[in-house]
Structure 1
Amino acid sequence: MKSRNMGRTRSRAAIVVAAAASVAAGAALLPVASASAATARSAAPIVDQQTRATFQRLADAVLTDRTDALVDGAQGNRKKPLTNVFSGDVKLSAALARSENAALTSLDRRKDRLSALGEKYSKANTVVTLNSTRLRGTKAEVAVTETTTLTYQKVRGDEPGTTGFQAHHALTFTADARGHWQLTGIRNTDAAADLAVNQPAEPSVVSRAGTSRVAAGTTPNAPRAATTRTAPAKAKNLTTGAYDYKAMATYAEKYWSTYNKAYPNFNGHSAGGDCTNFASQSLKAGGWKHAPGYVYDYTKWFGNADIQSDSFVGVNEWSWFAQNSKRTTSLAYVYQLDVGDVLQMDFDKDGSKDHTMFVTYRSAQGVPYLTYHSANTYRRSVASIIASNPNAYYYAYRT
């Protein structure tokens, strides 16, 4: 009996072994492509701490490459972009690599335009902070903040030490069949931003929406200002008068990157950004008084934490108030701007102004430098703004 039972056990084992061998043989005969597809389907994209860190490093490389393209010397003449070292699990897509190469070529031309206008940078530093990562299927949306500082090369000898800005970007990473990530898109997310000096794309043209309830005759058109360098002198008395222009500049340079909590922040929360709100705060810090009234009345101007007139926060609305109130006069040339003056831009030349900036420094040789929000920027020269936006309309206001 024992002998027969053992025989049956051996027979069953033999059958099991034979069946397993048959299955293995069948699997071995499967086409290689089918096996690879099965493996690929099982690979789900993963975003762990190491992957997020690599996302941040690649974003830093992309934006540093853009900045360095504007710098003279070895830093600006690197033979290969920093993004070239990324491969494997996280890298640029082929399409975005071509796009970034074109962007660097465009920025190289901008460097030439800056040089022709008398401006160069001797070094630069870009730091990228990763703010958030959101995984949706095979895509990861990454939000980052860029902080860039450029050191002015002493071409004329009277340049300030540095200029700088903060910008916010959204990056899209897409996972391939193997679970590897490719950077497929990058865009600036600052509301109503002008072109940062290292930004190759066209600026967004979005102005803070006004209202149709406009009193007749309260929307005068400001004359455009020329951008030629050889402007006739237009001296401004900075030491006497009703306003403290030094206090205006001090305020703007204090809060260019850290917002004053006594006022609302419209950057990222409103169609038009925070540029005019910030310029109004600076003017108020130097003595501009509230003109209380109805928020839609462009002959009124007021703003605090709780309520703001449209003229306090809107680009066109501020221009209308400035002219209605006679608190400003128009300048014929942007190079006539001085500390405490205001520069506005119409990016697409449609007659509606899109951006407001504030002058906080003027060099001995007559170059104005502007500080502003959206994107947060410190002491950027008029030359740099013109080089980045050569086709825009400009409006210069003496305060």
Structure 2
Amino acid sequence: MRNLSKRAGVFAATSVVLAASVAGNASAATAEDAVSRVIEQYVQARADDVTNAPAARSAGAAMTAGFKVQAAVEAREGQAFRQRWAGSLWEYGKAVVTMGKPVVQKHGTGATVKIEERTDLYFARRASASMPEKTSYRVDHVIELTGAAGTWEIASDTLDLPIGSVNPLPYFTTARTGGPGERQVTTAAKTEAAQVNSVAGAPYNRQAMADYAKRWALDRNSAYPSFGNDCTNFVSQAMSAGGWLHVVNPGPFGNPTDKGNWYMRYLSTHAGYSQTWSVADMFRYFAIDNSTPRRVTLNGNHSRRGDVIWADWDLANGSPGVDGHWDHVMIITGDAYPNVDDWITKTVSYHTTDTRDVPLQQVWEKSMKRSPNFGFYFGYLIDAP
């Protein structure tokens, strides 16, 4: 009888521990849900600000007094953006936001949350069947919250973006983590083997380039490595998908700093790549000046799907300005009117920030608002039908 009582006591104690564990897990889940709801309200409101549907505009999330000031600035910028494009080709009609699973780190009465946002901004109308139906982007947030009053309030929002990157459309003055830009890319290790390809094989397939870019604009192709500032790596992949052959000289490893080389070798242990593959400024030297035969010419009058556009908008210290070092590269993936050689009818896709089919005119004006001192350079693919 005593053994039964002892076992009953052990069972009871174990039940208490399990109950406490279940209660703790439930409490953590409840806190995570509460945090997610606050963040989703905030992000949805930001996206709704640039659409033309005020009736659908979401209610603001709980914020600290300090962050309300910043949010008000962003809301005014969103209103100005909305008014600028109202009734135009590029007016947005609705925003659909999808948030990833948050990673919550609690500390005292606050919490740090890392979470992914994926947003689709649908155009209010389509001018033609060739016009994309939406602009899409993906960005990671680092959000600080405080829960001192028993409810979660957003205290700050930082976009996890490096120097030289482009803020998503609904974000105007939001802080960025500011990691290294492309200028800090280091030379890759040599691979054990590399295939030397000739440059014969033109014409190239523009549509295949654009299709690849649209497919991978918001994601990463595991067949390639990824960079913190990934815009040139992304465009190089699209060029390769459309028929550009890799150039590796001298064989078998190649010189990664040679502006006449353009290659990526991704093995199971590491990647070997040329800087022309991964850095926007080096990519232009290969594409325009050192490829044989030449693959790109600067000609903005005839830019079409598959063509690339470079931007020079940052100084070496990350502040706005033009210094002759081209900081970013994009690829044209859509148009409002087929066969119209007018860049304001085009949409572009790029990485960092991961974006698909954003109107080039909006990128241009967003850049001008940041600083009137910037340059866009329009590339035209030679021997591409």
TM-score by length of 1: 0.71
Matching residue's letter, 1:55: V
| CA apart distance, 1:317 | 1.1
2:332 corresponds to 1:355: no
Go from structure 1 to structure 2 and tell me whether the alpha carbon gap of 1:133 and 1:73 turns closer, same or farther (over 3 Å shift): closer
Number of aligned positions between the proteins: 311
> Is 1:370–2:344 an aligned residue pair?
no
Residues 1:201 and 2:173 are matched in the alignment: yes
Report the equivalent of 1:387: 365
SS of 2:72's equivalent in the other structure is: helix
For 1:187-336, what aligned pairs fall within 5 Å after superposition? Answer: 187-191=158-162, 192-201=164-173, 207-209=181-183, 242-266=203-227, 270=228, 273-292=229-248, 293-305=254-266, 306-324=271-289, 325=291, 326-332=294-300, 336=302
- In structure 1, distance between residues paired with 2:89 and 2:96: 21
**Distance in 2 (alpha carbons) for counterparts of 1:115 and 1:52:** 38
Q: How does 1:105-254 map to 2 (within 5 A)?
A: 105-115=76-86, 118-154=89-125, 156-157=127-128, 159-176=131-148, 180-191=151-162, 192-201=164-173, 207-209=181-183, 242-254=203-215
- C-alpha deviation, 1:116, in angstroms: 7.8
Are 1:69 and 2:61 matched, yes or no? Answer: no
* Aligned partners of 2:300 and 2:380 also within 8 Å: no
State how far apart, in whole Å, the 2-side matches of 1:155 and 1:104 are: 26
Is 1:82 aligned with 2:59? yes
Q: State the TM-score, normalized to the length of structure 2.
A: 0.74
Q: Secondary structure at the match of 2:156?
A: strand
Cα deviation digits, residues 297-320 of structure 1 (max 9, x gap): 122110132211111011111111
Q: Aligned-pair RMSD on alpha carbons?
A: 2.6
Instruction: Return the alpha-carbon distance in structure 2 between the equivalents of residues 168 and 74 of structure 1.
Output: 26
Match of 1:24 in 2: none
Q: Is the 8 A contact 1:195 1:389 kept in 2?
A: no
Are residues 100 and 210 of structure 1, via their aligned partners in 2, closer, same or farther at CA, if it must alter by over 3 Å? closer
- Partner in structure 1 of residue 304 of structure 2: 338
Instruction: Kindly provide the CA deviation profile for residues 178-228 of structure 1, in whole angstroms up to 9, marking residues without a partner as x.
Output: 565431110110334312111122786753125899xxxxxxxxxxxxxxx
| Distance in 1 separating the partners of 2:309 and 2:184 | 20
Which amino acid is the alignment partner of residue 283 of structure 1?
M
8 Å CA contact 2:38, 2:152 repeated in 1: no
What is residue 49 of structure 1 aligned with on the other side? Answer: 29
Identity fraction in percent: 21
Between the aligned partners of 2:106 and 2:100, the Cα distance in structure 1 is: 18
Residue 101 of structure 2 aligns with an amino acid whose one-letter code is L
Separation of aligned partners in 2, 1:117 and 1:327: 35
1:46-80 superposed Cα distances (whole Å, 9 cap, x missing partner) = 9822222121111111111111111113446x4xx
Are the structure 2 counterparts of residues 68 and 180 from structure 1 closer, same or farther at C-alpha, using a change threshold of 3 Å? Answer: closer
Q: Which segments of structure 1 move beyond 4 Å, counting only runs of 4 or more?
A: 202-206, 210-213
Structure whose CA Rg is larger? 1
* 1:396 alignment partner AA: F
C-alpha deviation, 1:133, in angstroms = 1.2
Matches within 5 A, 1:27-42: none
Distance in 1, Cα, partners of 2:86 & 2:54: 17
TM-aligned CA distance change 1:56 to 1:289, over 3 Å:
same
Query: Which consecutive unaligned segments of at least 5 residues does structure 2 have?
Result: 1-25, 188-200, 249-253, 314-319
Tell me the secondary structure at the aligned position of residue 138 of structure 2. strand
Gaps of 5+ in 1: 1-45, 214-239
Change (3 A) 1:203 1:49: closer
Q: Secondary structure at the match of 1:92?
A: coil
Q: Any idea what the Cα deviations from partners look like across 1:219-261, whole Å, max 9, x if unmatched? A: xxxxxxxxxxxxxxxxxxxxx9510111111211222223211
